[in-house]
């Protein structure tokens, strides 16, 4: 039976998640903040942690770092939309998934199950940097260099580019891109993604060749 640690300061959220998790047959332990989570991790093993970002005592990011020093447990982050959002991409590259509030519990559980199932499979990408010929991407520094020259991209463009690069060689549907970059319950015009792609392509100049259009699907960063 998979053991799951639910970390959130709101008791209602914890209760909701607990109910759904138990319906799936998971064993649930709750913690009301990062500190409590850390202590529970010390004394017990979990298969997965479901953790909010905004919490008193020890926020989700810090808790995540501390926990990962101890044990390599997969983590799904819960975040309110907008809140610290880009940190997810800019700073924390080790989390397994994240869900934007308000979330659908079924969706959360689907992700939990997916993460548990693919335990052992290679993770997303934990590197700080990636480079392709003269195109260098610094995830932590949030820079993109073209032939050694730093270019200026808007926040959403960075995030989109980072997402594509982290998923290089994967044909990404616009839906996946939307989920990955904007959050699962975000809905916008397909043309919006295209517009950002256009800006990125303009920015990276000749290296635009790496961003290929997958007609009828979406895009792919292909090395």
Partner DNA sequence: CAATCTGTTCACAAAACATTCACAAATAGA
Partner DNA sequence: TCTATTTGTGAATGTTTTGTGAACAGATTG
- For DNA, the binding residues (CB under 7 A) are 154-157, 174, 182, 186-192, 194-198, 201, 213-218
Separation of CA 135 from chain center: 23
Residue 92, helix vs strand vs coil: coil
Structural contact between residues 6 and 26, judged by C-beta atoms closer than 8 angstroms: no
Partner from DNA, a copy of itself, none contacting 182, C-beta within 5 to 8 A by type? DNA
Closest CB to DNA among residues 82, 122: 82
Q: How far is the CB of 145 from DNA (least distance, A)?
A: 17
Question: Are 70 and 99 contacting, i.e. CB atoms less than 8 angstroms apart?
Answer: no
The values of phi and psi at residue 150, to 5°, are -70, 130
Indicate which of a copy of itself, DNA, none lies near residue 201 (CB less than 5 to 8 Å, by partner kind). Answer: DNA
Q: Could you tell me the two tokens for 50?
A: 């479901």
From the list a copy of itself, DNA, none, pick the one residue 64 interacts with, judged by a Cβ distance below 5 to 8 Å according to partner type. Answer: none
What is the closest distance, in whole angstroms, from the C-beta atom of residue 146 to a copy of itself in the complex?
17
Compute the distance between CA of residue 186 and CA of residue 10 in angstroms, rounded to an integer. 23
Interaction partner, residue 185 (DNA, a copy of itself, none; CB < 5-8 Å by kind): a copy of itself
Dig out the tokens for 141 from the structure.
């520094």
Minimum separation from the CB atom of position 90 to a copy of itself (A): 8
Binding site for a copy of itself (CB under 8 A): 12, 15-16, 19-20, 23, 85-86, 89-90, 93, 95-98, 102, 104-107, 110-111, 114-115, 117-118, 138, 140-142, 154-155, 169-171, 175, 184-185, 187, 214-217, 220, 222
Please state the closest distance from residue 86 (CB atom) to DNA, in A: 9
What residues does 7 pair with on adjacent strands?
31, 51
Residue 104 near residue 173, CB atoms below 8 Å: no
Comparison of 29 and 145: residue with beta carbon closer to DNA: 145
Q: Do 154 and 199 form a contact (C-beta atoms < 8 A)? A: yes
- CB of residue 39 to a copy of itself, shortest distance in Å: 26
SS (H, E, C) 194-213: HHHHHHHHHHHHHHHHHEEE
């Amino acid at each position: 039976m998979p053991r799951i640690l639910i970390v959130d300061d709101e008791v209602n959220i914890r209760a909701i998640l607990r109910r759904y998790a138990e319906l799936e047959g998971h064993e649930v332990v709750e913690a009301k903040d990062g500190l409590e989570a850390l202590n529970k991790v010390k004394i017990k093993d979990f298969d997965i942690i479901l953790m909010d970002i905004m919490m008193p005592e020890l926020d989700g990011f810090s808790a995540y770092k501390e926990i990962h020093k101890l044990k390599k447990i997969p983590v799904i982050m819960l975040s309110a939309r907008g809140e610290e959002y880009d940190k997810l991409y800019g700073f924390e590259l080790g989390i397994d998934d994240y869900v934007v509030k308000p979330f659908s519990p079924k969706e959360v559980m689907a992700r939990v199950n997916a993460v548990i199932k693919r335990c052992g499979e290679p993770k997303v990408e934990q590197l700080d940097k990636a480079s392709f010929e003269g195109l260098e991407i610094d995830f932590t520094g949030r820079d993109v260099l073209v032939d050694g020259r730093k270019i200026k991209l808007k926040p959403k463009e960075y995030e989109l580019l980072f997402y594509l690069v982290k998923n290089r060689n994967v044909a990404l549907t616009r839906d996946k891109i939307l989920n990955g970059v904007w959050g699962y319950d975000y809905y916008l015009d397909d043309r919006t993604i295209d517009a950002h792609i256009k800006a990125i392509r303009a920015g990276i100049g000749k290296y635009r060749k790496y961003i290929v259009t997958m007609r009828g699907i979406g895009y792919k960063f292909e090395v």
